[in-house]
């Protein structure tokens, strides 16, 4: 959506070509692929852990941190993979969205009239507020 706003503001006449159905499908497929890859790696690494002692989790939703607390043999490689994936799930999208909005703001500032500035900021302001 951030890329779509950038294209709509910087290349309004070329918007339909720049945001082609193929590119949109690629964005969707890439996000599904990365999500599948993340869950596959975390699940396969979790199955390598050994659990001993009390195997009761007092949570309604079994998330990774309570499950990891039950493991007897916490591998450092598992922790490294887990921290890398969790960090990349937060950092990569944030950097991509912020970079896209920086380009969008730069494109808006190139617009000459104040009324067009307001119109452009109104177009992407709600999404920027939600991302913030």
- The size of the chain, in residues, is 132
Per-residue confidence (pLDDT) for residue 60, from 0 to 100? 63
CA distance 73 to 68: 10
Q: Tell whether the model's pLDDT for residue 22 goes beyond 80.
A: yes
Q: What angle do CA 11, 13, 18 make, to 5 degrees?
A: 60
The answer to whether residues 49 and 71 touch, using CB atoms and an 8 Å cutoff, is: yes
Which of 132, 124, 119, 118 has the alpha carbon at shortest distance from 104? 124
pLDDT band at 16 (very low <50, low <70, confident <90, very high): low
Q: Taking the domains of the chain in order of start, what are their residue ranges?
A: 2-47+75-131
Q: Tell whether the model's pLDDT for residue 13 goes beyond 80.
A: no
What value does the mean pLDDT of the chain take?
77
């Amino acid at each position: 959506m951030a890329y779509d706003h950038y294209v709509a503001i910087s290349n309004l006449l070329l918007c339909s070509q720049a945001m082609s159905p193929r590119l949109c499908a690629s964005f969707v497929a890439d996000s599904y692929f990365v999500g599948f890859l993340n869950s596959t790696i975390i699940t396969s690494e979790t199955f390598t852990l050994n659990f001993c002692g009390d195997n009761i989790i007092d949570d309604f939703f079994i998330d990774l941190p309570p499950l990891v607390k039950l493991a007897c043999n916490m591998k450092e490689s598992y922790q490294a993979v887990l921290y890398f994936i969790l960090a990349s799930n937060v950092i990569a999208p944030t950097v991509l969205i912020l970079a896209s909005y920086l380009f969008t703001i730069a494109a808006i500032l190139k617009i000459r009239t104040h009324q067009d500035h307001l119109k452009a900021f109104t177009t992407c302001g709600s999404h920027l507020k939600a991302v913030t």
